[in-house]
Structure 1
Amino acid sequence: MGLRLRDTIGRQLRELRYEPTAKRIRAVLNGVTVVDSDRAVLVWEPRRVVPTYAVPAEDVAAELSPQPPGAARADEAGDVGFALPDVTTMRVLDPRVPFSVRSTEGEPVEIRTGARSAAGFLPADPDLSGYVVLDFGGFDRWLEEDDEIVGHPHDPFQRIDVRRTSRHVRVMLGDTLLADTRRARLLFETMLPVRYYLPPEDVVAELRPSTTTTYCAYKGEAAYSSVVIADGVLDDIAWRYDEPLVDASEVRGLMAFFDERLDMVVDGVARPRPVTPWS
């Protein structure tokens, strides 16, 4: 009997997972390089969908001390997180869920240099004995070799692909047309729905720039726009990458829409609205 890989990935989300990396990893806090290691591992706590780094405690050049009581919060009931039904029936923990939410046993610690500190975690799992898992967002800068990374470390088992298409793509809200093109570029990302990136001149709706920005480890910094419709405003419903990272260079300046809340009609057929953490 065949094995669908997505089902395997869904089952593995229940486990504590790790994978060594050959990269030299450095982290900067308060202007000081407090982590410098060529023995790092990528760690995914149960239900976490993106990894963070763990390094041997001796590769941390800062004081490690227990966190104050109550600083970490366990999620034993599994009621924190977001739906990703195409992958698993569990609620997943995406990057918006704080590092302090624990889904495995261990000891939370504080990594301090001067007046600044970042969070860490000493997992109880024997395979990670002696390692401290690091809160990616708690540090000022991260370097893989000499290149800075943002958002979170790349998952070595995940990728994005961008492909041109001449299919007829329309973005609709009910009977209201928001965009119409035959020049879309499709962005395929592991375990996420396909995204349709459209030339801005093929967007017929009125766009209102937003101050919202987000960071993607694979694509870079996204700038958001709201759409003005007859009944009001759809806040932060579209985004673009003006200075994308290398893997997403093909979608530079193009507009994408959250089809979790809109309808994508491709060659006359409306696609089902996906259910994701952004629904």
Structure 2
Amino acid sequence: MADESVKHPGLIVPVGHVEPVPRRVRGFIGGRVVFDTRRALYVWEWPPYPQFSIPVEDIAGELTDDGHVDRLGPGPARRHSLRLGDEVREGAAWLWGDGAPEALRGTARFRWNALHAWFEEDEQVFVHPRSPYSRVDALRSSSSVRVELDGVVLADAPHCVKLFETGLPTRYYLDRTHVDFTRLRHSDTVTRCPYKGTTSDYWSFDGEVLTHEDIAWAYDFPTPAVANIAGMVAFYSERVDVRVDGTLLPRPAQQSGTSGSRSSG
């Protein structure tokens, strides 16, 4: 069988790429509108996903220069604080300067967690914008999946749901009846993903020698686009041994971040 652990599309968007956003984008602090625009731009500061850059004219609050220049992926930008009524957010945004793409001039890139909520149209978005160049598909599969760690079998499933996400290894979601929860310890970790939603559970494994934290997760109520994974369990193939149809897959390189920043899948 071909090694499907490394057969996934790569990321093709270069740093500094800018595109118009065809959606209404809004940001809020404490229920107050920071911006409401139909002229936002996507800007890629790193290949996996973009950020929004907002025209200054569409920002309701006051931006004040912090006197500090940061070098972001596309070029230099001056850091600004935001005042909205009596609310002040230090270092909330960057205004692009000389050396950044021309299309970004006169726009501000906000730190995501400087705002309480972001919306595309009328749907809230978490963690970061969804990339228009990424796909996430959850397909039912008759492939068997066996998961082991430190010689212990953690799951053995006759079928699965394969989740294919641009730039990430294939993930294998398994029915809970095929997971040995007597070997796993429930974790309080919660992460968010703009493509899949908010995790409902994480699990760790305490081996005889080593403890392996947060090696598996589940989305009980995923986004409609990946409804097939609801209630199922997936394991980090970077951290466990996965056999698909009897073939041991090499462990992929560790992905940066958490499932909220695309690594769980």
Return the TM-score normalized by structure 2.
0.84
Answer yes or no: is 1:257 the counterpart of 2:230. no
Residues 185-236 of structure 1 show CA distances to partners (whole Å, capped at 9, x for unaligned) of 1000001000011111101252221111111000011231112333353211
Answer yes or no: is 1:221 the counterpart of 2:198. yes
Does the CA contact (< 8 Å) of 1:29 and 1:116 recur in 2?
no
Give the corresponding residue for 1:188.
Answer: 164
In 2, Cα distance between equivalents of 1:253 and 1:23: 31
Answer yes or no: is 1:211 the counterpart of 2:188. yes
Query: Aligned letter for 1:178?
Result: L
Task: Report how far residue 260 of structure 1 moved.
Answer: 0.3
Does the CA contact (< 8 Å) of 2:96 and 2:104 recur in 1?
yes
Task: Report how far residue 126 of structure 1 moved.
Answer: 1.6
Residues 27-79 of structure 1 show CA distances to partners (whole Å, capped at 9, x for unaligned) of 0013210110011111112x35221111110100001111254xx654xxxxx
Answer yes or no: is 1:269 the counterpart of 2:247. yes
User: Which residue of 56, 70, 76 maps to 1:105?
Assistant: 76
Identity of aligned residues (%): 35
Query: Aligned letter for 1:109?
Result: H
Partner SS for 1:137: helix
Answer yes or no: is 1:240 the counterpart of 2:212. no
Give the corresponding residue for 2:25.
Answer: 25
Unaligned 5+ residue runs, structure 2?
1-7, 257-262
After TM superposition, list the pairs within 5 Å mapping 1:101-140 onto structure 2.
102-103=72-73, 104-113=75-84, 114-117=86-89, 119-124=92-97, 125-140=101-116
Partner SS for 2:191: strand
Return the TM-score normalized by structure 1.
0.80
Unaligned 5+ residue runs, structure 1?
75-101
Does the CA contact (< 8 Å) of 1:52 and 1:135 recur in 2?
no
In 1, Cα distance between equivalents of 2:221 and 2:9: 31
Does the CA contact (< 8 Å) of 1:208 and 1:226 recur in 2?
yes
Query: Aligned letter for 1:254?
Result: M
User: How many aligned positions are there?
Assistant: 242
Query: Aligned letter for 1:63?
Result: E
Give the corresponding residue for 1:63.
Answer: 62
